Chains A and B, each alone.
Chain A
Amino acid sequence: MATPTDPERRAVIRQGLSVAVATGLYGISFGALGVASGLTIWQTCLTSLLLFSGGSQFALIGVLGGGGGMGAAIAASSLLGVRNTLYGLQLASTLAPRGLWRVPVAQLTIDESTAVSIAQQSLPNKRLGFWVTGIGIYAGWNVMTLVGALVGDAIGDPKQYGLDAAASAAFIALLWPRLRSRQPVAVAIVAAVVAAALVPVVPVGIPVIAAALVAVVFGLLSRTRTPDAREPDGALL
């Protein structure tokens, strides 16, 4: 294990914690909206504890609050959760969880923990990024869900503090270091365009999966490339 003063490790911890704070605070929106949609405080909190995937949670209470049936609510929520399978695939070799250890690992597998983890270069930093971000968000999201359910909108919309833009910035900052060679730049641009183009025409949650298919296509078409084309993250597996 590297020393805790290793500046690279501290940078990973800072990244994870800033993403966790920006995302965790959004739990307040979910808590307030959950109660407003007719869930009890207890039901709202249990949704954050058990479901723990922001998009899926908002979809669930959106359908329930809008008078939709439980089948429609479960379907909307689950559709958004499919991308987490992809994240697990991506993280499997990094985290290599076995047996029951896969339970907490799976539960913490969401957009942000995956994003911070895959953005790191070394294996220990990938793991560190996953755990710091995952645990930080789990704690923050659940505490803030309770706060939001109790006090409603009294604190105000996290948007007014720009926390939604903070999340955008975190994602672009994690992507940035990968844009040094031609192939990832091309993949990123095509993936972004494909995702944006699909937003109005497919259910929420699908554009991210379609963007992943862009990587599949590029990956399968690039087999004549030299190994250098895999920079800067050839250490991924």
Chain B
Amino acid sequence: MTVWIAIIGASLIAFALKFAGYTVPPTFLEKPRVSRVTTLLPAALLAALVVMQTFTTGSSLVLDARGAGLAAAIVALLLRAPFIVVVIAAAATAAALRAFAGWA
């Protein structure tokens, strides 16, 4: 029963949190000061997601095969490779280092 309550409770809160963002009136978002912030938000959010996805495990900062994958992705981006090539280069680099070099 505890598990059911936890699942339903967490799901309801998760949905409420997602929904809340869409209840803000458009007039608020159109204010110049707010729009300057929302214009810069994508760069901040994407940069943070890169860090979280690549260099963290739980609450620890770690450097493992994901970091090498990210480096491969950056090289691919500098070479103007298409999106899918960038993604595959990173995956292949990390997978190869784990399979053949014993990286974490």
Contact = CB atoms under 8 A, between A and B. Distances in A.
Of listed B39, B70, B74, residue having the most chain A CB within 10 A:
B39
A175 B46 contact: yes
Contacts of B101: none
Given A74-B6, A215-B37, A166 B43 contact: no
Contacts, number: 320
A86 B43 contact: no
A64 B87 contact: no
Contacts of B70: 165, 168-169, 172
Interface string B17-48: 11111101010011011011111111111111
B48 A211 contact: yes
A208 interface: yes
B48 A208 contact: yes
Given A160-B99, A199-B59, A171 B49 contact: yes
Interface stretch (A92-100, A137-145, A147-155): A92-100
Given A102-B19, A218-B40, A162 B65 contact: yes
A186 B96 CA distance: 33
Given A105-B22, A192-B51, A237-B30, A212 B98 contact: no
Interface in B56-104: 56, 58-61, 65-66, 68-70, 72-74, 76-77, 82-84, 86-96, 98-99
A56 B53 contact: no
Nearest to B6: A70
Interface string A174-202: 11101100011101111110111001100
A8 to B, nearest CB: 12
Contacts of A93: 26, 29-30, 38
Contacts of A36: none
Nearest to B26: A93
Contact of A173 (B45, B87, B91): B87
Determine which residue in B29, B41, B86, B88 has the highest number of CB atoms from chain A within 10 A of its CB, and name it. B41
A175 B59 contact: no
A173 B7 contact: no
B68 to A, nearest CB: 8
Interface string A4-35: 00000001001100110010000000000000
Given A70-B6, A119-B46, A56 B83 contact: no
26 contacts: A39-B3, A81-B13, A85-B21, A89-B38, A90-B21, A93-B38, A105-B22, A159-B94, A162-B95, A162-B98, A166-B90, A166-B91, A168-B69, A170-B86, A171-B50, A172-B70, A173-B77, A178-B42, A190-B44, A204-B58, A215-B37, A218-B40, A218-B44, A230-B39, A236-B35, A237-B35
Instruction: Pick the 6 closest A-B CB pairs, nearest first.
Output: A88-B21, A165-B69, A169-B90, A219-B37, A211-B48, A165-B94
